[in-house]
Copies of this chain bind each other. A is one copy, B any other.
Amino acid sequence: MTDDIYSDIGFAKLDLSRETRTGLPETVYCAGKTNEQLLKILQTFQEKNVAVLGTRCSKEQYNFVKESGLPLVYGELSRVIKLGENKTKMRGVLAVCAAGTADLPVAEEAAEVAEFTGITVERYYDVGVAGLHRLLSKIEEIKKADAIIAVAGMEGALPSVVAGLVSAPVIAVPTSVGYGASFQGLTALLAMLNSCAEGISVVNIDNGFGAAMVARKMLRIKEK
């Protein structure tokens, strides 16, 4: 019976009821897993015929698991690995905004994960606040989105400026982009938590995946 809810493969108990329970797809955090563990997990899901997504999958891990012949798709920038396809199509549009070029890996992780869950994503990249005209030239489009993910490192000001201009909720993602007193993203994280603009909530540093999961749960509200 346990096997209906999770599959016990010794070093892991694979959650098979997550989609039913939380409406989110099965996902694997690849970092910190051995090549063998990752392969075993992917094969188990394949056997159960469950589409699954992996994040933080290194190039080296991908090279190992693709040898197995599993039908995998991999994004080098986002480090997202996909097995199978999620059939659901969500209503609504998610805008993913990123402040600078160095924030792209995180923004792409968010965008690709969201797309895997059936969301339509629009990307607005390199729209940081130091050159405000870049953001302002796109703002009318951004305003039309149902939910917004705003990705920024350094001083992390992008979500504040965006949230003051739109009516959609803004999911802020601090990145570890910066140096010195950016403290690997801590400064951006703290800035976003202290935003004077309203309607912003925050996920962990570099957590594009988490932001996509929040967006997914938000857009489900529309479905209900």
Contact = CB atoms under 8 A, between A and B. Distances in A.
Interface of A: 2, 5-6, 10-13, 15, 17-18, 21-24, 27, 29, 31-33, 37, 92, 99-102, 104, 125-134, 137, 146-147, 154-157, 160-161, 163-171, 174, 176-207, 210-211, 213-214, 216-222, 224
Contacts of A189: 180-181, 193
Top 7 A-B pairs, shortest CB-CB distance? A180-B205, A201-B201, A23-B167, A157-B157, A169-B217, A32-B102, A130-B197
A204 B218 contact: no
Given A129-B164, A155-B191, A181-B186, 10 more contacts: A18-B131, A21-B167, A32-B102, A32-B177, A33-B101, A129-B197, A130-B164, A132-B161, A155-B196, A157-B161
Contact of A202 (B15, B130, B197, B203): B203
Contacts of A224: 92, 146, 222
Contact of A165 (B132, B203, B207, B211): B132
Nearest to A14: B126
A130 B163 contact: yes
A149 to B, nearest CB: 10
Nearest to A11: B101
Q: Which of A15, A154, A178 has the most CB of B within 10 A?
A: A154
A154 B11 CA distance: 18
Question: What is the oligomeric copy number?
Answer: 8
B193 A203 contact: yes
B164 A161 contact: no
Nearest to A99: B196
A222 B222 contact: yes
Contacts of A11: 101, 104, 125-126
A155 B156 contact: yes
